[in-house]
Amino acid sequence: MSSADHLWAGWRTQYIDAVSKDPTPLRPNESGSLFERILALDDEAGMVVFRGVDVSVVMNAYPYTNGHVLVVPNVAVADLGEVAPDTAAELWSTVTAAVATVRAAYGAHGVNVGLNLGVAAGAGVPDHLHVHVVPRWDADANFMTAVANTRVLPEPMVESWAKLRQAWPGIGGVAR
């Protein structure tokens, strides 16, 4: 593929539009951001991997691959400049723990870490920043999403959740 070629992930538009147009897709009668409503559920129902003082880790409902988690402040904040210093410190230490956890749980050769701030940057939930932690493997060039609008996820979400909780330091895993 030359540098002028593009692969498009058109399936993302449907998800972004759905979240943007319906601010309460999880529980219509509850208030708060999508992640605040998820965090109001018990760990299994909300697929919460870890709960900290100000930051938690949840499974991505639309993962790029098994083990894809989101590190989120417990209270909605739209931009990094709005994050309190103590929460910011916990956010990045939790991202570090999440990276170690996905490596341990999945034997990942690498990890993508990133966040999208604002709709124009691709944020599907623009009112509540979240950091993506995505395990990657050598030669895992999976073009199914781009060419067939399909994702191949060999592991059910509940198994990914259990595997990550077992590997998380202080829950089932050991400090790294």
Q: Is 47 left (phi over 0), alpha (psi -120 to 50) or beta?
A: left
The CATH number of the domain where 67 resides is what? Answer: 3.30.428.10
**Predicted local distance difference test score (pLDDT) of residue 92:** 97
Structural domain includes residue 3: no
Structural domain includes residue 158: yes
As to burial, measured by CB atoms within 10 angstroms (0-12 exposed, 13-18 middle, 19+ buried), residue 130 is buried
Residue 67 near residue 108 (C-beta atoms within 8 A) = yes
Structural domain includes residue 2: no
What's the full length of the chain, in residues?
A: 176
Each of the 176 residues of the chain gets a pLDDT tens digit; together they read 444 444 444 544 554 555 455 544 455 456 788 999 999 999 998 999 999 999 999 999 888 888 999 999 999 999 999 999 999 999 999 999 999 999 999 999 999 999 999 888 888 888 999 999 999 888 665 554 444 455 556 677 788 888 999 999 877 665 44
Structural domain includes residue 142: yes
**Predicted local distance difference test score (pLDDT) of residue 165:** 92
The residues, any chain, with a CB within 8 Å of residue 136's CB and separated by 6 or more, are 65, 108, 109, 110, 111, 112
Residue 97 near residue 50 (C-beta atoms within 8 A) = yes
| The amino acid at 108 | A
**Predicted local distance difference test score (pLDDT) of residue 142:** 56
Q: Can you give the residue range of the structural domain that contains 145?
A: 11-167
In the DSSP assignment, the letter for residue 127 is T
| The amino acid at 76 | A
Helix (H) or strand (E) holding 37: helix 34-39
Distance, CA of 88 to CA of 103 (rounded, Å)? 23
Structural domain includes residue 42: yes
Distance, CA of 86 to CA of 82 (rounded, Å)? 12
Active site residues: 130
